[in-house]
Structure 1
Amino acid sequence: MAGAAATSQLLTATVVLAGAGVAGLVLFRRLGFGSVLGLLAVGMVIGPHGLGVLAGGEELRHVSEIGVVLLLYAIGLEMEPETLARLRRAVFGLGALQVAVTTAALAAVATLLGLDPRAAFVVAAGFALSSTAICVQLMEERGELYSERGRKAFAILLFQDLAVVPLLAVVPLLAGSGPELTADFGQRLGTTLLALALVLLAGRHLLPVLLDLTARERNMEAFTGIALLSAVLAAWVMDLAGLSTSLGAFLMGLLLSRTRYHHQLEAEIAPFKGILLGLFFIAVGMSIDVARILRDLSVLLPLLLLVVVKTGVIFALARAFGCGRADALGMGLLLAQGGEFAFVLFGTALAHGILGETLYGRAVLLISLSMMATPLLVRLGDRIAARLEPPRPPRPVEARIAELDGHVVICGFGRVGGTVGLMFDALGIPYVAIDQDPVRVEAMRREGHNILYGNATDPRILAAAGTGRAGLVLVTLDNPATAERVVTAVHNFFRDVPVIARARDLAVRERLLQAGAHEAVPEAVELAITLCSYALRHVGVSEAEVTELAGHLRERAFAILRSATATSRPSEATARAGAREPAAAS
């Protein structure tokens, strides 16, 4: 009977968490506030201080912290060691200064407000740290994690994780346990080095072998288990050593980023990461006592001081490290909250008698409130940044085209033309596109592309695209008749500019060459040759043989065409059918 009741409670809690979580995500995303604020709000509503539907927020937070572990593990998988090496100045320079200066500034404010110096230091150190879970999730949602600002913010978060050990070690010293701590220093150092060595050994040697074994046997269930085990194992080892669990997971992900399985590892843990991270945000929201805040609004004063002081420090340091005003302000407001590690630090200080029960409760409430305020602060930062550095109006397309010389003119910017444009963008090759789809033209212009609306068979449109100064005209239209007219127009009015055209088949290719194209690529032939080349490589044929055979196939196909066209010409019906096809860009 007791087992059935427990099962019923578990199912009820699952339904409430899942239903309320989805509702919060949909509503707040639609309102433009993002998922983090939505999940925090859900926790406030369903928690013991809201409707009281669920209790046990503290236990839920401890369990769901595995989501934070998986989040850092995924970031490690995406970040190569070389990238981390390039961040060392930001990690050990900007990150170290942020923790030190913010701690000093907040400690000074707390002392002036009447706190004991020891308690002031612990509270300041805890609030100098930020929430990795909230900051990284917000940066991922906004697409900023791998921007310059995102990398520097992540570097600060990474150093904050490194600062966990010394901060925990300082608490017993402040409590008067210095001699014991000094005597135990060697053991703690040895434990730390051993934990790092175990993570390194597992990530470099043991886990890659296990991943190879399960992948060869196509045992995807075991592969998923190893993906989760690798993240949780690193966190567990680091936790036993008194280090940051998130740091351990990040290091493990970084080690496995060199394996060929890193994309699949990330895919395997993604569902678990999303669910557990969502539960973590809900659990944080459940700890916020709204009624208490409304009874005593003075608790909001420390929140205001925290945001102002921490944002000011980070803004000044980020500016010193080369960030613009908008980026520096954005980083400051993003990192302004207290972090999840502060819960641990304040709990340790409470156990050693440095913090009293009342101060501990207010500090924990302030952490939760600051987390809740972060999405709103980030949106505020966006508005202020727009005033600090208003975006420059884009230069007219015509002005940009007038400065081009030796560029490529792409006639048709659909699937084929757009793909060619992407390749040109990657290589830095300037081009101007011409297309007759107004929606596509408007969308591409908003993204900064040089694209004109018009009919590419019109010499005036070709002239507006700078065809007379172009180094090449590329015709990607899939309508044979329209493509032929474009080639003819270029040949008649811009005879010195070479033309390469897309052809549907060999017959169309011949017509385009006769119209003046320097080369025409038949889709059917090239697709067949490409498919054949991939198949030959797959069965072990050398690259040289594949290339030679592809050349022979092209020569043979063109020879067949020349032989066929020497004895017959395309029927008038075929020509009329081609002329009737609607113009299309592809």
Structure 2
Amino acid sequence: MENLLLVFITTIFIATILNVFLKKFEIPTIIGYIFAGLAISYLFGLKDIKTEELNHIAEFGIVFLMFTIGLEFSVAHLLKMKKEVFLYGFLQVFMTGLLFTLLGWFFFNLEIKTAIVLGFALALSSTAIVLKILNENAEIHSGYGRITLGILLFQDLAVIPILLMISIFTSPTDSISVLLLKTLVSAAVVFLILFVFGKMFIERFFNWITSANSEEIFLIAVLFVVISSSFIAHLFGFTYSLGAFLAGMTIAETKYKYRIESDLVPFRDILLGVFFVTIGMQIDLHTVVDYWYIILGLLVGIMTLKALIQFSMLYPFVQIRSNFKSALALFQIGEFALAVFALAYQNALIDNKINQILIITVVLSMIITPFVLKNLKTLADRFFKEPETEVVMKSTGFANHVIIIGYGPLGQKIAKKLKKAGVPYIIIEHEMDLVRLGEEEGEKIFLANAMQRQTLEALGARESMAVIVALDNAPKIRQVCEALMSLDKKINTIVKVRNESHKRIVEEFGIRHIVVASEVMADIITKEALTCELKHT
């Protein structure tokens, strides 16, 4: 390609301009890359040019993505959230994938192999978009946040069987039994080489590499591990991504995990960007014009069915409001579905028309998602009221106790320290799932709304030694402080805020015991630094 450098510069320019613009509307960078690919494909007439080499390079964006997912895979962490991950996650993926498989087979006349791959790919949601917004809104530890996180973790694990299905279905062997046997044997060998043997030698290998005390050599060694692991998996008939995932799992329990993860992020993000640019290059605007009604129907149908299936499956287990919010949070189709569609297209499981329609549908669902997540509370308020309990109706008789408002990570740590010190306390929590967690821990916890004066009065806020506001959400902190001060300005209230601007807002309510998280961290770090300096001197 004569104008390769010009194409490259133009792609970077368009992607940068688009992503800066889209960022103002909280639309993920994935969309900018896809539209950049679409733009250059028409600007430079690349629609009919074979880009096999580029696709191979782009596929390594998925390889590095799967490697970083493997790095984050912790058995201990999953066991702490076993209900959210293994029960809720399994129900969502299996039931959604099964329904879409049946719909594809019966109503769209797809081959059963194609229906299975597409059905379970559509069950996946966007880890990148959803978790990013949950973290920004400080809702990752809320009731619906834990459910959403658990299901997304299971979906990350479910990617591996989906990739295996593509390998199995596209094998030239006709006998399914022979195919499954060969696959199981190959899987055992790959697992043995990459995970078992790898676990024995990987830390020694990196100990030897770090003895050179060179960042450059260390980075080359990491790239060697990722690419060679991918090649070994591919050698045994599996995808490059499977090898990368196992390599990530192998390194996850070593002391080099976080260093490797930080070093690989630039490579992962750049190659993922290339991957999504190549996806954009495959979009045919004629398909949008010719099949817009099918795309619109699929978009509405898939998102509605995903939300309804998840809501129905989790209804017996989860508080209804949290269930509703988590169902809406995961109703989009995830970025990894695009990778599955690309692999399915490359292996002739789907034709170009279906591939085009599905790509456009996924992109549109991603564009819609940030707007829904930003207004999730408003949508939930329209259908379900905030949960209340009878505790707000009558006095409990508590006195000389501490009230902890919020049972997130901070509230849990405060409760443990008060229990160890023998100080009487109670907990007020608004999310049913966190209340259940507290009950399992044997805590005296109440499902109630601390933003209501009646709740605070019934639980003895006036008679308490102190009220500790252990919330992360700034608007909720303000509402709780307002309710406490309107009840009695003499209540000894302690509030944790993120920064000075939040502190000034809380001070307006007359509260004087305010802990600024950024100041506390700065004091601790400075103290540690001075201690280190004194030791050296």
TM tier, smaller: 0.5 to 0.7
1:368-447 counterparts in 2 under 5 A?
368-379=359-370, 381-382=372-373, 383=375, 386-389=378-381, 405-407=400-402, 426-428=413-415, 446-447=476-477
1:62 counterpart (53, 56, 59): 56
Partner of 2:184: 189
Structure 1 residue 12: Cα displacement? 2.2
Q: Which moved more, 1:26-35 or 1:337-346?
A: 337-346
Partner of 2:168: 169
Distance 1:432 1:17 in 2: 55
Structure 1 residue 212: Cα displacement? 1.4
Report the RMSD for the aligned CA atoms in angstroms. 4.7
Residue 464 of structure 1 pairs with residue 458 of structure 2: no
Distance 1:196 1:64 in 2: 25
The number of aligned residues is 437
- The alignment partner of 1:31 has SS state of coil
1:199 and 1:133, CA in 2 relative to 1: closer, same or farther beyond 3 A?
A: farther
- The alignment partner of 1:149 has SS state of helix
Distance 1:531 1:335 in 2: 43
Q: In structure 2, what residue type is equivalent to 1:316? A: S
1:245 and 1:84, CA in 2 relative to 1: closer, same or farther beyond 3 A?
A: farther
After superposition, the C-alpha distances for 1:543-569 in whole angstroms (9 at most, x for unaligned) are xxxxxxxxxxxxxxxxxxxxxxxxxxx
After superposition, the C-alpha distances for 1:191-213 in whole angstroms (9 at most, x for unaligned) are 22111111103541222112112
Structure 1 residue 169: Cα displacement? 2.6
After superposition, the C-alpha distances for 1:239-288 in whole angstroms (9 at most, x for unaligned) are 33333433432332233121111111111001111111112122111111
1:278 counterpart (261, 264, 273): 273
Partner of 1:96: 94
1:131-530 counterparts in 2 under 5 A?
135-143=126-134, 147-170=146-169, 178-179=174-175, 182-183=177-178, 185-201=180-196, 203-300=198-295, 303-304=298-299, 305-319=301-315, 322=318, 324-335=323-334, 338-349=337-348, 360-379=351-370, 381-382=372-373, 383=375, 386-389=378-381, 405-407=400-402, 426-428=413-415, 446-447=476-477, 464-467=489-492
After superposition, the C-alpha distances for 1:346-383 in whole angstroms (9 at most, x for unaligned) are 44345xxxx6xxxx111111221122112233246435
Unaligned runs of 5+ in 2: 419-424, 426-465, 497-511, 514-522
Q: In structure 1, what residue type is equivalent to 2:414? A: L
Distance 1:448 1:128 in 2: 45
Q: 2:225·2:247 contact (CA, 8 Å) conserved in 1? A: yes
Distance 2:528 2:296 in 1: 68
1:129 and 1:185, CA in 2 relative to 1: closer, same or farther beyond 3 A?
A: closer
2:118 counterpart (120, 124, 127): 127
Q: 1:76·1:254 contact (CA, 8 Å) conserved in 2? A: yes
Q: In structure 1, what residue type is equivalent to 2:14? A: A
After superposition, the C-alpha distances for 1:418-460 in whole angstroms (9 at most, x for unaligned) are xxxx9788424696699xxxxxxx99565458658xxxxxxx9
Q: 2:65·2:268 contact (CA, 8 Å) conserved in 1? A: yes
Q: In structure 1, what residue type is equivalent to 2:263? A: E
Q: Which has the larger radius of gyration?
A: 1
Q: 1:336·1:374 contact (CA, 8 Å) conserved in 2? A: no
1:91 and 1:443, CA in 2 relative to 1: closer, same or farther beyond 3 A?
A: closer
Q: 1:67·1:280 contact (CA, 8 Å) conserved in 2? A: yes
Q: 1:131·1:339 contact (CA, 8 Å) conserved in 2? A: no
After superposition, the C-alpha distances for 1:32-55 in whole angstroms (9 at most, x for unaligned) are 22212222222222224x664796
1:448 and 1:349, CA in 2 relative to 1: closer, same or farther beyond 3 A?
A: same
Q: 1:129·1:339 contact (CA, 8 Å) conserved in 2? A: no
Partner of 2:74: 80
1:183 and 1:387, CA in 2 relative to 1: closer, same or farther beyond 3 A?
A: closer
After superposition, the C-alpha distances for 1:130-186 in whole angstroms (9 at most, x for unaligned) are 38998222134324687420320331342242133245434569xxx634x544554
Q: 2:96·2:123 contact (CA, 8 Å) conserved in 1? A: no
- The alignment partner of 1:130 has SS state of helix
Q: In structure 2, what residue type is equivalent to 1:95? A: V
Distance 1:259 1:296 in 2: 50
Partner of 1:107: 105
- The alignment partner of 2:331 has SS state of helix
Partner of 2:17: 23
Distance 1:142 1:14 in 2: 31
Distance 1:152 1:276 in 2: 26
Distance 1:10 1:307 in 2: 39
Distance 1:531 1:286 in 2: 51
1:528 and 1:124, CA in 2 relative to 1: closer, same or farther beyond 3 A?
A: closer
If the length of structure 2 is used for normalisation, what is the TM-score? 0.67
Q: In structure 1, what residue type is equivalent to 2:32? A: G
Distance 1:473 1:320 in 2: 36
After superposition, the C-alpha distances for 1:103-136 in whole angstroms (9 at most, x for unaligned) are 123322213xxxxxxx342342232133899822
Distance 2:527 2:98 in 1: 63
Distance 1:90 1:374 in 2: 22
Partner of 1:482: none
1:98 and 1:393, CA in 2 relative to 1: closer, same or farther beyond 3 A?
A: closer
State the percentage of identical aligned residues: 16
Distance 1:331 1:528 in 2: 42
Q: 1:57·1:286 contact (CA, 8 Å) conserved in 2? A: no
Q: Which moved more, 1:322-331 or 1:333-342?
A: 333-342
- The alignment partner of 1:42 has SS state of helix
Q: 2:125·2:332 contact (CA, 8 Å) conserved in 1? A: no
Partner of 2:431: none
Unaligned runs of 5+ in 1: 112-118, 410-421, 435-441, 453-459, 475-489, 491-498, 500-523, 540-586
Structure 1 residue 308: Cα displacement? 4.6
Partner of 2:429: none
Structure 1 residue 327: Cα displacement? 0.9
